[in-house]
Amino acid sequence: EAKAKSLRADAERKCEIGYSDAGKLESHEEYLLAAAAYENLNDYKDSKERAAQCLAKHTELERALAEKREKEALELAERRRKEAEAAKEKKKKITIFVSAAAALIIAAIIIVTKVIIPESNYKKAEMLLSSGDYENAIVMFEALGDYKDSAALIKEGNNAAAYAEAEALLDAGDK
């Protein structure tokens, strides 16, 4: 009987150590290992209930982790969608900017070649005409084509050149 009592005390001590170890596993959220440890204790104290609780906690923890992963995946997908949308918007803005810049450059080129340069050449030709350099004035007015009254000034230059030539011949004839 003393031996039986000693064996029971030894078994009780082993069960208490196993129960304590299972509790430590449970407190560290190692629910599957804790459930297995509680199940190994059979009917010791509330081991069966604790095993069931640990399995339920493990299932809940796995479900929560799955929800968290799903939420993170959705957030990542949304973030990537927004980044793609932002990149598309940026590309659109760059395209608009480049198009506007190109339009401005083309407008500037047209203004320079169709207005500023011809106006400058017209004024030079007028100065040549008024200074009596009829040949160069006529050449410049001809290069201007139908700019302003270039055609009329070509005639005026031709007339002035003919008049100057006639005057020169008269002056030469007087001598």
Tokens 């008049």 belong to: 163
Per-residue pLDDT band at 173 (split at 50, 70, 90): confident
* C-alpha pair distances (Å), 96 with each of 84, 148, 172: 18, 36, 70
Nearest CA-CA partner of 35 in 45, 22, 18, 46: 22
Cα angle for residues 58, 64, 65 (degrees, 5° grid) = 90
Tokens 């700019």 belong to: 147
Nearest CA-CA partner of 56 in 18, 23, 15, 26: 26
Q: Rounded to whole angstroms, how far apart are CA atoms 105 and 81?
A: 36
pLDDT tens sequence across 125-166: 999 999 999 999 999 999 999 999 999 999 999 999 999 999
Nearest CA-CA partner of 138 in 119, 157, 124: 157
Q: What's the one-letter identity of residue 21?
A: D
Segment (H or E) for 116: none
* C-alpha pair distances (Å), 82 with each of 73, 75, 77: 14, 10, 9
Looking at the whole model, is its pTM more than 0.85? no
Name the average pLDDT for the chain.
95
Contact call for residues 138 and 161 (beta carbons, < 8 A): yes
pLDDT tens sequence across 28-52: 999 999 999 999 998 999 999 999 9
